[in-house]
Structure 1
Amino acid sequence: MDEQRWIFVVRSLDRPGALTSAASVFSNRGVSLEGILGSGIDSNTTQDARMLISFQATAAKKEVLRRALERLSAVVAVEAYPYAAANLRAIASTRLKNSALPWLQQTVQDDVQFEIISTQGDETTVLLNGHTIAVEHLLSQLKDEQALVDVVMTAIAL
């Protein structure tokens, strides 16, 4: 079976060690994480934290990982999405060379939106959002154009 890219959205208790325990599930099974992001939604409770975990695995290995995460005491629920799922959106905060802005404005299609956040010197911070595959493709093009200075990317399930 071929490996695919996946994203888990994990609802968990917001307590010390929850993120470490989740990461250990992957490490103990020989799966490298592409990204992991943890956040609490309501700072007044410990009931509503989220972890977003991206990785590559076969469908069978994905199920093993999901079941192992669900057994953790801090985990409330795990939702699994193929990386290209229609209800996932990527969000990328990028630093670009200013010379790339005209190219970006001409290249961006309807499946990716962008907003200029700030300009400092010869670099501009741009927020990109859209379908995961479309944003990733645009980032690849920016890298090929040697216009991408830095990027932080995550996703959200709608």
Structure 2
Amino acid sequence: MRDLAPPRQRYVAFVRAADRPGSLTAVAEVMSSRGVSIESFRSSARLSGTAMLTLVFSTSARLERLIERTLARLAAVSDVTVLPADAPRVRAVGVVHAAPGRRFIPPGDAAVTWSGDTSLDQPLLIEGTLVDVEKVLAAAVAEGAALVSSIVLPP
């Protein structure tokens, strides 16, 4: 039997919202009521009464457009930008803590900048597109990294 579900793609939503009780709940309700799970969420840049909410999620292109329009209509939201997760404008930073005594260097096919020396028990700080940072973190985990973490940067 053929799978008739629409193809899913990863997206990153950057939502500027009022920094007040209920804003996050309203954004989460938009996603939840449409059956879309949030892969990751971050709140940052709390300036002059607003916060930048960054959400990574997967859905169909049609549902992504509906979510974007619905988020933009929320009273607490002042701006919404949704981009495919693999868009060059979607930047991220990551940190790798290698296993003790192990040296980790990002794979050559990942277009990232990095600093630190894991062989000296220093964390490795990585910056690049979300896709490339995730590639580096996956390689680090495959090589036994003790801890990896990443954050999607606001545009």
Normalising by structure 1, we get a TM-score of 0.83
- Supply the AA of the counterpart residue of 1:5: R
1:106-132, CA deviations, whole angstroms, 9 ceiling, x for partnerless residues? Answer: x3567212223999xx95422211111
Aligned counterpart for 1:51 among listed residues 53, 57, 64: 53
1:112 corresponds to 2:117:
no
Give the CA deviation at 1:20: 2.0
- Supply the AA of the counterpart residue of 1:88: V
The match for 2:65 is: 63
The match for 1:27 is: 32
Greater Cα offset, 83-92 or 123-132: 123-132
Give the CA deviation at 1:153: 1.4
Give the CA deviation at 1:92: 1.3
For residues 81-120 of structure 1, the aligned pairs below 5 Å read 81-101=83-103, 103-104=104-105, 107-108=107-108, 111-116=111-116
**Structure 1 residue ranges, 4+ long, deviating more than 4 angstroms after superposition:** none
1:153 corresponds to 2:155:
no
- Supply the AA of the counterpart residue of 1:83: A
The match for 1:127 is: 125
Distance in 1 (alpha carbons) for counterparts of 2:141 and 2:22: 36
- Conserved 8 A contact 2:116-2:125: yes
Distance in 2 (alpha carbons) for counterparts of 1:136 and 1:110: 9
Q: Secondary structure at 2:19's aligned position in 1? A: coil
1:11 corresponds to 2:7:
no
- Supply the AA of the counterpart residue of 1:51: L
From the superposition, tell whether residues 29 and 95 of structure 1 become closer, same or farther in structure 2 (CA, over 3 Å): same
- Alpha-carbon RMSD across the aligned residues, in angstroms, is 2.3
Stretches of structure 2 that go unaligned for 5 or more consecutive residues are 1-5
Normalising by structure 2, we get a TM-score of 0.84
Q: Secondary structure at 1:39's aligned position in 2? A: strand
Stretches of structure 1 that go unaligned for 5 or more consecutive residues are none
Distance in 2 (alpha carbons) for counterparts of 1:142 and 1:118: 11
The match for 1:137 is: 135
Give the CA deviation at 1:157: 4.5
